[in-house]
């Protein structure tokens, strides 16, 4: 029984009618709080409250948007773009975020779940090549080969010069 609006509908329990109301509440997501003004229906006679699926979704969405902006968390699209720019699959990427279940990471990329600040920092850390390689080595995840700028890599030269070494006696 999912109705998008209950405004004016009968509350069978008491014979009263539901009216649209708004309330400002503190919602918590992933350990972070947001003040959200949300809609619901209240029976004018007995004060029974009802929330439609649409109202719940809308409230959760505004809480997510508020918290993401407040804590400067990566948007779902940005997470996906980072992963793809590294050439990693979802399971590989999840391994590099200390073995976060891939379903959770998928939820982050789709905006279904909101990463907390710690997870956000871990994701951002992967943009740094050194951090990426370190975590990949620890997790045993093979990284796609990247082409290095050859000019900036110093050539490895043997320590002893050719003329200075004493003749070897095999
Ligand atoms: Zn009622």
Return per-residue pLDDT of the chain as tens, 170 residues: 445 789 999 999 999 999 999 999 999 998 999 999 999 999 999 999 999 999 999 999 999 999 999 999 999 999 999 999 999 999 999 999 988 999 999 999 999 899 999 999 999 999 999 999 999 999 999 998 765 554 444 555 545 444 444 555 55
Count CB neighbours of 3 within 10 A. Answer: 13
Classify residue 132: in a domain, yes or no: yes
Ligand 1 center from residue 38 Cα (angstroms): 20
For residues 130 and 81, membership in a common domain is answered with yes
For residues 93 and 125, membership in a common domain is answered with yes
Classify residue 167: in a domain, yes or no: no
Amino acid 168: pLDDT: 52
Q: How far apart are CA 66 and CA 28, in angstroms?
A: 11
Classify residue 160: in a domain, yes or no: no
Can you say whether residue 89 is alpha, beta or left, with left for phi > 0 and alpha for psi between -120 and 50 degrees? beta
How many folded domains does the chain comprise? 2
Q: Domain range holding 134?
A: 76-143
Ligand 1 center from residue 138 Cα (angstroms): 59
For residues 82 and 59, membership in a common domain is answered with no
Ligand 1 center from residue 78 Cα (angstroms): 46
Handedness of CA 144, 114, 74, 99 (dihedral sign): negative
Asked which of 30, 54, 70 is the last residue of a domain, the reply is 70
């Amino acid at each position: 029984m999912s109705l998008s609006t209950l405004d004016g509908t009968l509350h069978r329990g008491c014979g009263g009618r539901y009216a649209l109301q708004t309330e400002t509440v503190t919602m918590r997501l992933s350990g972070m709080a947001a003040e959200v003004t949300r809609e619901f229906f209240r029976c004018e006679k007995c004060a029974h409250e009802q929330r439609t699926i649409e109202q719940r979704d809308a409230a959760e969405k505004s809480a997510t948007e508020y918290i993401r902006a407040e804590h400067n968390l990566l948007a779902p699209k940005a997470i996906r773009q980072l992963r793809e720019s590294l050439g990693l699959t979802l399971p590989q990427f999840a391994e590099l975020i200390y073995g976060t279940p891939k379903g959770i990471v998928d939820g982050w990329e789709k905006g279904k779940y909101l990463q907390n600040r710690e997870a956000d920092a871990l994701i951002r850390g992967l943009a740094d090549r050194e951090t990426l390689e370190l975590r990949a080595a620890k997790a045993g995840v093979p990284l796609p080969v990247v082409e290095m700028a050859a000019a900036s890599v110093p050539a490895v030269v043997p320590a002893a010069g050719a003329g200075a070494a004493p003749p070897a006696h095999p």
